[in-house]
Amino acid sequence: MALILYIDVALTLIFLGDFTYRLLTAPTKWWYLRHGGGVFDFLGCLPGLRIFRLFRILRAVRIIRRLGGPRVLRELREGFASGTLYLVVFIGLTVLEFVGLAVLYFEQDTGNITTGGDALWWGYVTATTVGYGDYYPETRGGRIVGVFMLTVGVALFATFSGFLANAFLSAKKQPSGPALAEGDLNAALREVERLLAEQQRATAALRARLAELEQPG
């Protein structure tokens, strides 16, 4: 039960952070609280009112239906990096919880990993491949769980590291604001010059035609 409580506290903090971000970035905070589901988001963060988290699922289903399948897939492709980050965090928490429960089931009688805190600490240290050695599985079932945690942990942290590297490199490749604005201004000026030249040519052609018509036949 302690392990589940620790995970629930972590999820509560994540939901509170999400609610705070949505509230601060909403164009109209009062509209978000009354009509945008903000009240249910806040109530779902409270420990005794977790049932309101179902409204997040219902809202996500409505958004998917309103946007349509092709547009949702396009949005996922465009925001693939951020979507991958959220997926990694979700899978990491899920794996950490179930692996902690599994290793605690096998190791609780060995005198090594006996509490939920020990299981979480062992799972996180194992996933990061640090391996302090203060907690380790002694039973066959616990070692099988450890192999699974090592494999999944390496993949998750490699994906997370790749996301951070991509974020830093993308920030360096993007041009600065003033340079980008100057480039847009130069392009607009060239377009205006082209339109003026075409207008001058059209005016000259029209004058020549009028001169031809004014000449006596």
pLDDT 10s digits, 141-193: 999 999 999 888 888 877 777 777 776 776 555 555 454 455 566 677 777 77
Which letter, b or e, does each residue of 71-98 get, where b requires 16 or more Cβ atoms within 10 Å of its Cβ? Answer: eeeeeeeeeeeeebbeebeeebeebbbb
pLDDT (tens, 9 = 90+) of the chain, 217 residues, equals 566 676 677 777 877 887 787 788 877 777 777 766 777 777 777 766 667 667 767 766 776 676 666 766 666 666 655 666 777 777 888 888 888 889 988 988 888 888 888 888 898 888 888 878 888 889 999 999 999 998 888 888 777 777 777 767 765 555 554 544 555 666 777 777 777 777 777 777 777 777 777 776 5
Q: Rounded to whole angstroms, what are the CA distances from 155 to 13, 81, 98, 124?
A: 25, 16, 17, 13
Q: 85 and 165 share a domain? A: yes
**CATH code, domain carrying 148:** 1.10.287.70
C-alpha 190, offset from chain centre = 39
Of 172, 112, 170, which Cα lies nearest the Cα of 139?
A: 112
From 78, 112, 137, give the residue that closes a domain. Answer: 78
φ and ψ at 134, to 5 degrees? -75, -30
Number of structural domains found in the chain: 3
Q: 32 and 65 share a domain? A: yes
From 34, 53, 78, give the residue that closes a domain. Answer: 78
